Amino acid sequence: MRAGIIVLALCLAALPAAAQPSQPLYEIKKEQVQKDGQTHDRIYLTRRPDAQGKPTLYVSVQFTIVRPDGQLADDVNADELVVEEDHQRVRDVAVQRPSALDRLTVVLAIDISGSMAEHGKMEQAKQAANRFLDRLQGRADCGLILFDHELRVRKPPAGQPQQFASNRELLRQFIRKAEPGGGTAYLDATAEALAMLRGIKGRKAVVLLTDGVDLNSQHTASQVAHLAQEAGVPIYTVGVGEPGKNEPVTTVLVLDHSDSMRDPAEAGSRLSKIKALHRAAARFIDLMRPGARTTLLPFNHILEVPKPFSTDKSALKRRIQQLTPSGGTLLYDATYEAIETLEAARPEGKKAVVVLTDGVDESPGSRHRVSEVIQRAREVGIPLHMLGFGQAGDLDEGVMQQLASATGGTYHHARNEQFLFEIFENLSIQLHDDGIDEAALRKLADESGGHYFHARDLAQLRFIYEGLADELQTTYTVTFPSLRQDYDGTSRDIHISVWRKGAQVSTVLQEGYNVPGVVVPEMEPGVYLTLLATLGGLLAVPAVFRRFARSAS
């Protein structure tokens, strides 16, 4: 009897413990990002075509899964994640998970354009890229693209695990040897990075770094974002430096085609100076920012009448190719006329006159003197960028330097065709590339499920890249078409949890988002009819007063 009582007491004592739920195997934690000085959960909305081409609202949520010991988990399978929107199960869910079974493959695309030489940006970018490679786990694969206005290095991921380590060392060598120069074509570089990842299984990403505006790519931002969506590859964009002001840019190209331009620039060259000018001036046109305008003022002993300012690059380059050598040189008059042409247009934003000559102002020469040219340029605030082409003894370098320095411009001496090409290229970059194109970088990131990071302070680069390496290897991403496709201005709730064998084994991640739109409030019919009757009564008041006035008279 006593033994039975003891057993019963032990059973009753055990009931409360059995009733309590066991500790969850996992905790689902929000991932957050700093944006505009505020902390935001990593939940993103994109509108893109579904498999049938229908425009669809997609929702992406990023989070980490943590074990009770604090270690990040990578063993939760895609089919174990349950996603609910407004308490309804979402069935069509795409999951990216940081699993040893789902190998991570990343392509780094790094800008090595000429502007990266400023303020130590190139060196900081190299250090950041190396820190990224340091943080990648041994099972992660990586490729590399180094680009300016062309793709200078294309090194695809190794593909075979036994080659990961040696391939990563090769990437470090390419990064170490990188030298800045040229323009910027990050959209083409990103498209190439996406092509490198085609057919690779597991988790994939592109990490793009740039400090400027894309002036060279054949691809548009919309095209690249679409390619990323089709491939299911997020693009993480890093903008270095200050955001661009997107100022309008208006220039006049003053091009000498006097008879001496038929000669080569230096002894032994087979290329005439006029042919070198055709190639170099066309490069200036190619690098013009979208919306930038220019016109040509060709001259010898006659000044041609400039055509209206144009954004048509093809037409401008055709006109450059038509220049042939003949006659003398009216350098000062041509420069003065370019200043007047630019001032008459009264353009907003940045403006400049670019002058190329291979000689001196000939006797009897121009009607305007050097002092007049300088005075007029300073009056209207137009810098003169003077380019001398050929042997130093054939140029009046002192006068050209005076014209440039007195007006806030620059002087350059090109002794051969390659120098001339580089001078025109760098000058166009200087005039047209004024900072980060944040709108394009955000578009690439937001529409592909990645993130945009702004590194105004170069010291931030290392930490951004370290954080990216960690995120790509520890963060889960779920993407699904919203169950409510209406843009009705309402909020929606999201619940995410882990289930195994019919039981929930994690905490619940609770998220929410708002959809833009016009909210139409519901209204009781009686209230609606009352308001309608009141409105009708107010509209009838003027007619009543008119009738009363007629009867009184």
Mean pLDDT to the nearest integer, 321-329: 94
Q: The pTM is what?
A: 0.66
- pLDDT(160) > 70: yes
For 266-310, what is each residue's pLDDT tens digit? Answer: 877 888 999 999 999 999 998 888 889 999 999 999 999 999 999
Cβ(352)–Cβ(385) under 8 Å?
yes
Query: 520 pLDDT exceeds 50?
Result: no
Q: How far apart are CA 376 and CA 336, in angstroms?
A: 8
What pLDDT sits at residue 548?
Answer: 54
Looking at residue 14, what is its pLDDT?
47
Radius of gyration of the chain from its Cα atoms, rounded to whole angstroms: 33
pLDDT band at 544 (very low <50, low <70, confident <90, very high): low
Q: Alpha-carbon distance 154 to 236, whole Å?
A: 19
Q: What angle do CA 239, 243, 248 make, to 5 degrees?
A: 130
Per-position DSSP letters for 455-519, written without gaps between them: ESSTTHHHHHHHHHHHHHHH-EEEEEE-S----BS-EEEEEEEEEETTEE-B--EEEEEE--B--
Structure tokens given for 389? 């082409």
**302 near 327, Cβ under 8 Å?**
yes
Average pLDDT of span 403-422: 93
Confidence band, pLDDT 50/70/90 cuts, at residue 132: very high
pLDDT of residue 26: 92
Q: For residue 336, give the nearest of 349, 358, 355, 364 by alpha carbon.
A: 355
Separation CA 198–CA 196 (nearest Å): 6
- The tokens of 331 are what? 């350098």
| Single-letter amino acid, residue 168 | R
DSSP-derived 3-state class of residue 377 = helix
- Whether residue 21 is predicted with pLDDT greater than 50 in this model: the reply is no
Question: Does the structure show a pLDDT above 70 at 36?
Answer: no
Cα(430)–Cα(265) distance, integer angstroms: 25
- Is residue 35 scored above 80 in pLDDT? no
Domains in the chain with CATH codes: 23-98+476-514 (2.60.40), 104-245+435-474 (3.40.50.410), 249-432 (3.40.50.410)
CA 345 to the chain's CA centroid = 31
pLDDT in tens, 93-130: 988 777 554 678 999 999 999 889 888 899 999 999 99
Which are the contacts of 346, defined by CB distance < 8 A and separation ≥ 6?
none
Give the closest residue to 154 by CA, choosing from 198, 202, 190, 115: 190
| Pairing between β-strand 293-299 and β-strand 249-256 as defined by DSSP bridges | parallel
Most trustworthy range by pLDDT among 29-33, 158-162, 377-381: 377-381
The dihedral of CA 346, 351, 356, 361: what is its sign? positive
